[in-house]
Amino acid sequence: MDLNYSAEERAFRDEVRAWLQANLPRDLKEKVERFAELSKEDVRRWHAILAKQGWIAPHWPQEWGGTGWNAVQRYLFEEECGYAGAPQLPGLALVFCAPVLIRYGTEAQKKRFLPKIYSGGEFWCQGYSEPGSGSDLVSLKTKAVKDGSSYVVTGQKIWTTQAEWADWMFALVRTSSEGKPHEGISVLLIDMKSPGISVRPLRLMDGGYEVNEVFLDGVCVPAENLVHEENRGWAVAKFLLGYERMNNARVGVAKRTLAGLKRLAAEPRDGGPSLLEDMRFRDRLARVEVELMALEITNLRFLDRLRKTGVPPGAEVSILKLKGSEVHQALSELVMQATGGPVEHAEPAARYLNFRKLSIYGGTNEIQRNILAKQALGL
């Protein structure tokens, strides 16, 4: 696909592509391509390589280490990384928490946390979802009671990604029960080494443990770790969720998966015909490829509008999350069918099972359809 890229933008894309070919460690690329589990050390290694190049936080302001790239360059960089097979860095700190601190944090919070996030010295997790408060975040019950110069936090978070790695959590807590539910929510930065915090891994369908339950039992949090204003945390949460939904399509990753699937399906099977000679498989593959092309075109339309007007997309951006999750799930199913199960350099069963979550997290696909119907179409 093309966006009528300028000569400078095409040169930038070529520069990123060449740099990735020269600097992406082969062992990390192979792990990503076969959907093997990445260790904390693997992630830190790739983080350090990008940070040394100065490409770790393209969307940050330059004063804090941003690249100064425009929207098109940031898009090209993300898609080239996905297509090259680069490890996906934990976005909880770089993509979500850092922009919140840059927008709403105090100067002391920025100076304390942003350099550590940039260098990869500290990992973060997101304390949003709770039992009974997943898509309906405003119903959260974790309480934070002011006690002198601290808040005492008691409650439970669930589906907390990489809490087992995290040094810090940015969490939604309830500081008031008066007024409308969203009016009593605040955001706290919580040290995961604090007494009273316990992390319990949750085993996923693929056998992995990337999400957790987090229990907070009278955890003492300094009041200086409050972000923005007390009871005004819902504005912060909505700001962050906008970032989350802009990063769910991952077209580059899907294109890499599709290319690998085509190569795999073209190979003869046990001396017989290849899957590409199977009419039903070929039909399903063609349908997914068309859906991916439409997704990429939609993504580029949003990007082109942003480039021309400077105005980010509104509720209609939900279509990227909705269709992106469906395309990735369909591809994972076809890969599993093409391999017949786990084989060398591929773990299709794990990929298929893990990708069932794509239509749930970041706002379920049902929620995305409601957003599109009400806010984009006015139904």
Predicted TM-score (pTM) of this structure = 0.86
Q: Are 17 and 26 in contact (CB under 8 A)?
A: no
User: DSSP assignment, residue 133?
Assistant: B
Tell me what pLDDT residue 247 has.
57
User: pLDDT class for 209, splitting at 50, 70, 90?
Assistant: confident
Measured in whole angstroms, the distance separating CA 130 from the mean position of its chain's CA atoms is: 19
Tell me what pLDDT residue 344 has.
46
**Which stretch of 143-147, 238-242, 255-259 has the lowest confidence by average pLDDT?**
238-242
Q: What's the rounded Cα separation, in Å, for the pair 4 and 204?
A: 42
- For residue 200, pLDDT over 90 is answered with yes
Q: What is the mean pLDDT of the chain?
A: 89
User: pLDDT class for 181, splitting at 50, 70, 90?
Assistant: confident
Name the fold adopted by 248-376.
Answer: Butyryl-CoA Dehydrogenase, subunit A; domain 3 (1.20.140)
By C-alpha distance, which of 333, 322, 330 is closest to 370?
322
- Residue 123: exposure state from Cβ atoms within 10 A (0-12, 13-18, ≥19): buried
**Which stretch of 43-57, 265-279, 327-341, 344-358 has the lowest confidence by average pLDDT?**
344-358
- For residue 8, pLDDT over 50 is answered with yes
User: pLDDT class for 308, splitting at 50, 70, 90?
Assistant: confident
Q: What is the pLDDT of residues 216-254, one digit of tens each?
A: 999 999 999 999 999 999 988 877 765 555 556 889 999
Q: Where in the chain is the domain with CATH 1.20.140.10?
A: 248-376
User: pLDDT class for 62, splitting at 50, 70, 90?
Assistant: very high
Q: Are 296 and 252 in contact (CB under 8 A)?
A: no
Q: Name the token pair of 139.
A: 């119903």
- b/e sequence 336-370, b meaning 16+ C-beta within 10 Å: bbbbeeeeeebbbbbbbbbbebbbebbbbbebbee
Rounded to 10 degrees, the C-alpha dihedral 184/187/188/190 comes to: 120
Q: Are 311 and 269 in contact (CB under 8 A)?
A: no
By C-alpha distance, which of 89, 56, 62, 221 is closest to 150?
221
Provide, rounded to the nearest whole percent, the portion of the chain with pLDDT above 90: 62
Q: Where in the chain is the domain with CATH 2.40.110.10?
A: 124-233
User: DSSP assignment, residue 163?
Assistant: T
Q: What's the rounded Cα separation, in Å, for the pair 108 and 105?
A: 8
Q: Are 296 and 1 in contact (CB under 8 A)?
A: yes
User: pLDDT class for 294, splitting at 50, 70, 90?
Assistant: very high
Q: What's the rounded Cα separation, in Å, for the pair 123 and 265?
A: 39
CATH number among 3.60.40.10, 1.10.3210.10, 1.10.3720.10, 2.40.110.10, domain 124-233 = 2.40.110.10
**Which stretch of 104-108, 164-168, 200-204, 244-248 has the lowest confidence by average pLDDT?**
244-248
Tell me what pLDDT residue 345 has.
42
Residues carrying an active site annotation = 244
Q: Are 44 and 106 in contact (CB under 8 A)?
A: no
Q: What is the pLDDT of residues 90-111, one digit of tens each?
A: 878 998 899 999 999 999 999 9
